[in-house]
Chains A and B, each alone.
Chain A
Amino acid sequence: MKRSGLTLSDLLTYAALALALVVFLSPVLWMLITAVKPPHEWLTTPPILIPSELHWANFTDALVTWGGAKGLEDSLIVASLSTLLSLLLGVPAAYALGRFNTGGENLSFTVLSILFMPPVAVAIPMYLFWSALRLLDSYTALILQYTVFNLPFIAWVLKSFFEDIPRGMEESALVNGATRWRAFWQIAVPLARPAVLAVAVLAFIFSWNEFFFALILTRANVTTLPFILPVLMEGHNILWGDIAALATLAALPVVILAFALQRYLVRGLSFGTVR
């Protein structure tokens, strides 16, 4: 199958992929460009592609005036803690589902179905719930709420993984007197590291980007990044540059994270042979 030189189909492939890159990335590029444009260049005909200056004031405005710095901090706190909590609860749960088939198919499906619940359907009762606990506008409420959404995903993905790990090593450890806990913690978990990292990244991204519950459950104490953006859309002038700067700040951490861990992302979702 080896060819030397480009064939027509190769060229077409490259062209098509290039087109895909343009379609999927040009809005992001536009966002980056707008983020450094001075105000008088935000809305123009024709649209300006190369800003006349690098107007970093958009970023300082976004960070200081519009609470972007606090937004970053709050998003970081909520996303990392909920990811940690989800892993802490989800990895053992996945092990139980995968190794011992705890609860059988029904439990598995029930756990997974939480993922399918439309947020809007649970929004009102959860609002009343957190309100009754006086936990509205707190980190706790968001962290716990996001954990609830991350857990099923983590449990399911890792469950299949644990199912497929050969039992040999755990068996021999057990025979040699290790407790089940040690077999889990010191054998199974390290083996699962790529998968755990993959789901951790995905869980973090989900929590970082979550919009709906941030909208409903927070007010002023906790302001994650997606929540701040709508505020900038109202008022007498829409501040496109500031919005773009804030959006860039919001997007940068997760994009960096994804690239740093891209090996795990892609591999974490790759498959063995079909049975």
Chain B
Amino acid sequence: MRGRTARREIAGAVRLLPAMTSASVSVPAVQPRRRGDTGRSFGWLMIAPCLAMLAANSIFPLIYAVTVAFESYQVLIPVPHRFIGLRNFERIFSDPLFWSSLGVTAWFIAGVVLLQFPVGFGLALLLNRLRRYQEMLATLLLIPTIISTSVAAFQWVQLFNYQFGPINYLLGLLHLPQPTWTADPALALPCLIFVDLWQWTPFMTLLMFAGLRSLPSSIIDAARVDGSTAWQVVWRIYLPLLRPVIGIALILRILMAFKLFDIIYVLTSGGPGTVTENLAFFTYVQGFRYFNMGYAAALSLLQLIAVAVLAKLLIRLTRRASAATAKE
């Protein structure tokens, strides 16, 4: 029964995953040869306005980043900015704050991969077991993702309050130690990672869940008949089949974790000290507080390059995974 419904859904459903992974692999089977040329120009016509807007808004930052990154430009110093070659980059790589901000960024990404994915996937599996109210539950769980990051973060400021926050109160009732959360240099970063997890795990769950729902039940039934345990079904069948979905979900979330800003701004402003200052926040401070434009531009350029490389890498990895899966 499920298989047939699933198949009917194919025609009307969006295929997020194969699109993103198999961009070049999916060559349309039938090319309308009749109007080949006008077809192509029609295509360009349709995409032109979109491209124009994107270009206008991204070419400028790119040119800016590339130019200013090599200059000694500081807004407030009335000295003409001069070309200083790679000096900004030298300063970046010898700046201990830069490296610590990289470390903080890495921790956020690790949190996504090592915690958010398993929990999200686990929840999706659980949702999949229900027979009714799946969509309702999924949407309910999605509320943290839907409300604005800053809104969510403000609530956590209150929840993490040392003296009056409910969390410490509950801990007190259980006679457990009551930490100072975001005031504790050792705990501040885990707190922020936790808030990020809280906000985005449901999103991960939703993606996984949608993926699970679309799996043809024939394969699963076959496996069950074979006598595999539930655990084996998960490992040997779900995970491999869902590799493309997982790939997409991870790509999206890793890149979002990379540019995380709102939670840090609201909860800790990079503190205590600089233990929660990630690369994005560090760049913000350099550019918008200290007005070190050259330095900030160099940082921006590095990030743009890193993100482009990372994205391409991840997409290629996922595409290989999905191609491999297709063979199975």
Given contacts A13-B129, A209-B148, contact A194 B12 (CB under 8 A): yes
Segment of B86-94, B160-168, B185-193 in the binding face: B160-168
Interface of A is mostly: helix
27 contacts between A and B (CB under 8 A): A1-B224, A16-B123, A24-B143, A25-B143, A27-B198, A47-B164, A89-B53, A105-B24, A111-B51, A119-B280, A121-B300, A125-B61, A147-B53, A163-B28, A195-B14, A208-B148, A209-B147, A211-B262, A211-B265, A226-B148, A233-B157, A240-B158, A258-B139, A263-B135, A270-B213, A273-B216, A275-B18
Is B223 interfacial (CB-CB < 8 Å)? no
Instruction: Tell me the residues in window 1-54 of chain A with beta carbons closer than 8 Å to chain B beta carbons.
Output: 1, 9-10, 13, 16-17, 20-21, 23-25, 27-28, 30-31, 34, 43-47
Q: Of B28, B38, B230, B245, which is within 8 A of A271 by CB?
A: B245
Are A121 and B139 closer than 8 Å at their CB atoms? no
Are A17 and B137 closer than 8 Å at their CB atoms? yes
Greatest chain A CB density within 10 A among B50, B65, B136, B280 is at B50
Is B104 interfacial (CB-CB < 8 Å)? no
- Write out the residue numbers on chain A whose beta carbons fall within 8 Å of the beta carbon of B184: none
14 more contacts with CB within 8 A, not counting A119-B280, A255-B147, are: A20-B123, A20-B141, A30-B155, A114-B54, A120-B284, A125-B60, A125-B65, A152-B54, A191-B12, A209-B149, A225-B148, A243-B154, A267-B13, A273-B215
B122 to chain A, nearest CB (A): 8
**Per-position binary interface string of chain A over residues 196-226, scored 1 when its CB falls under 8 Å from any chain B CB and 0 otherwise:** 0010000001001111100110000000011
Are A268 and B14 closer than 8 Å at their CB atoms? yes
Instruction: Tell me the residues in window 131-181 of chain A with beta carbons closer than 8 Å to chain B beta carbons.
Output: 144-145, 147-148, 151-152, 155-161, 163-167, 171, 174, 180-181
Q: Of A120, A184, A205, which is within 8 A of B46 by CB?
A: A184
Category for how many chain A residues contact B: 35 or more
- Write out the residue numbers on chain B whose beta carbons fall within 8 Å of the beta carbon of A171: 32
Are B17 and A28 closer than 8 Å at their CB atoms? no
Are A247 and B154 closer than 8 Å at their CB atoms? yes
Are A120 and B53 closer than 8 Å at their CB atoms? no
- Write out the residue numbers on chain A whose beta carbons fall within 8 Å of the beta carbon of B12: 191, 194
Is A113 interfacial (CB-CB < 8 Å)? yes
Given contacts A129-B60, A160-B15, contact A254 B146 (CB under 8 A): yes
Is B275 interfacial (CB-CB < 8 Å)? no
Q: How far is the CA of A112 from the CA of B24 in the complex (A)?
A: 14
> Nearest chain-A residue to B198 (Cβ)?
A24
- Write out the residue numbers on chain A whose beta carbons fall within 8 Å of the beta carbon of B143: 24-25, 28, 251, 255, 258
Are A211 and B149 closer than 8 Å at their CB atoms? yes
A81 to chain B, nearest CB (A): 14
Q: Of A44, A191, A205, A274, which is within 8 A of B164 by CB?
A: A44
Q: How far is the CA of A275 from the CA of B202 in the complex (A)?
A: 26
- Write out the residue numbers on chain A whose beta carbons fall within 8 Å of the beta carbon of B43: 95-96, 99-102
Instruction: Tell me the residues in window 260-299 of chain B with beta carbons closer than 8 Å to chain A beta carbons.
Output: 261-262, 265-266, 279-281, 283-284, 287-288, 293, 296-297, 299
Are A262 and B161 closer than 8 Å at their CB atoms? no
- Write out the residue numbers on chain A whose beta carbons fall within 8 Å of the beta carbon of B183: none
Are B61 and A122 closer than 8 Å at their CB atoms? yes
Q: How far is the CA of A36 from the CA of B276 in the complex (A)?
A: 33
Are A180 and B39 closer than 8 Å at their CB atoms? yes
Are B146 and A27 closer than 8 Å at their CB atoms? no
A132 to chain B, nearest CB (A): 10
Is A84 interfacial (CB-CB < 8 Å)? no
A49 to chain B, nearest CB (A): 8
- Write out the residue numbers on chain B whose beta carbons fall within 8 Å of the beta carbon of A10: 129
Q: How far is the CA of A267 from the CA of B11 in the complex (A)?
A: 12
Q: Of B6, B150, B284, which is within 8 A of A123 by CB?
A: B284
Given contacts A271-B214, A273-B10, contact A120 B39 (CB under 8 A): no
**Per-position binary interface string of chain A over residues 67-99, scored 1 when its CB falls under 8 Å from any chain B CB and 0 otherwise:** 000000000000000000000011011011101
